[in-house]
Chain A
Amino acid sequence: MSPFSIEQDPRPSISQSDFGELVRSFNEITSQLERTHDTLRAEVAELKHELAEANERLRRSRSLAALGEMAAGIAHEIRNPLGAMALNLGVLREDLESMPDSLVLCDRLAGSVQGLDAIVGDVLSFARDTRVSTRCCEPLELINAALEANAPLVDRVGVRVEVDVRPGLSADVDPGPVTQALTNVVRNACEALETVPDRAPVLSIVVDRGLVRTTTDAGRVEHLRFLIRDNGPGIPDELKERIFNPFFTTRETGTGLGLAIVHRIVDAHGGTLTIEDATPGTAICLSFPTAADPVPSEHEASLAEAVRDRIQNHEPRRSTP
């Protein structure tokens, strides 16, 4: 804003110094207002961003749930005949005991049936009705179970694993599904690390607490967060939107259901799954609501209310003359 200027006026004049004082005060108040305006602008931008993210997560969760229902129906229809195929193959094998060439064919068939059954199993664990029964768990135990499940892969890739659980934290989760979710994320990280031969592979898992916006119609709530970070190649920006889609994969083997399953498990807990900034590498954050001493939300429901709240509680500092 331009400095205050005033034309000469015949009415009672103010002294030069008073006038100078007035202009200074005016300019100070103006710049104070500008700063406040900027702060509010930044606040609004941040809230908008958070709300957009929460909306996007919600949209994703809904479409995953719908897909899950459809996939469950198909998977059951497939699993039954697969069971019959495996049974009949067993019988056929007995008949062909003396014919090694035919047995090779049988084994091939059996291998295919097993492969299909594994895919169907993945589909079902993605589609399964995800009601959870939570109990108080040690975060470190969940992590260790996930690392244990990936032990051969971790060893093969030679990953250095760093685990940091902030003291005094417990997780109110269903340990089975959450261990599976962590296992999937750790496996993804290790497989990504395998593709980067030129740096020492590091996997870091941090457990802490933080405020997370879970829905669009409530404030931030405190969550327990598992931040799993690798120094692998990272996820290209153009793929970030698609990696949560079921059956999306960049690998030659794999069903592309790993992260979709993680998403469903996190959703079932009322938690969130996000990709965080990490360079180099990838950071995936799983958050779960904490049952104990929930922190009252910091912000009001809607963007408008959040802004109103911000304005009402904003106390501009008095400008000093």
Chain B
Amino acid sequence: MSRILVVDDKEMMRDSVATLLGRRGHGVVAASGGEQALEKLGARRPDVVVTDLQMPGMNGLELLAAIQEVDDGIPVIFMTAY
């Protein structure tokens, strides 16, 4: 199963996505923002990142750019309510 990094500033959404993926047997790491996501990504490389698009501070697109600087082989999936 995969290692998935879930990034969302809204706790309810973050926990919901984490629960759903966790129950599918994936290893989930959650982060509440871009900075924290980069920290966790640095500690251990995830197989995929699922991130919210609109977040205070670093938004999803900025996070994507930062991830690609570190490792442009990690797939990034955006979630948005738009």
Contact = CB atoms under 8 A, between A and B. Distances in A.
B13 A88 contact: no
A91 interface: yes
Contacts of A79: 81
B20 A83 contact: no
B81 A76 contact: yes
Interface of A: 76, 79-84, 87-88, 90-91, 94, 124
Contacts of B82: 76, 124
A91 B20 contact: yes
A171 B10 CA distance: 44
Contacts of A76: 81-82
A71 to B, nearest CB: 14
Interface of B: 10, 12-13, 16-17, 19-20, 23, 79, 81-82
A226 B19 CA distance: 51
A82 B16 CA distance: 11
A100 to B, nearest CB: 21
B20 A87 contact: yes
B72 to A, nearest CB: 29
Nearest to B23: A91
Of A84, A87, A88, A124, chain B has the most CB atoms within 10 Å of the CB of A84
Given A87-B16, A87-B17, A88-B16, A80 B81 contact: yes
B30 to A, nearest CB: 14
A88 B17 CA distance: 8
A82 B13 CA distance: 10
Contacts of A88: 16, 19-20
Residue from the set B13, B19, B81 with the largest chain A CB neighbour count within 10 Å: B81
A97 to B, nearest CB: 13
A84 B12 contact: yes
Given A76-B81, A87-B17, A81 B23 contact: no
A83 B81 contact: yes
Contacts of A124: 82
Contacts of A94: 23
11 contacts: A76-B82, A80-B12, A80-B81, A81-B12, A81-B13, A83-B16, A84-B16, A87-B13, A88-B19, A90-B20, A91-B23
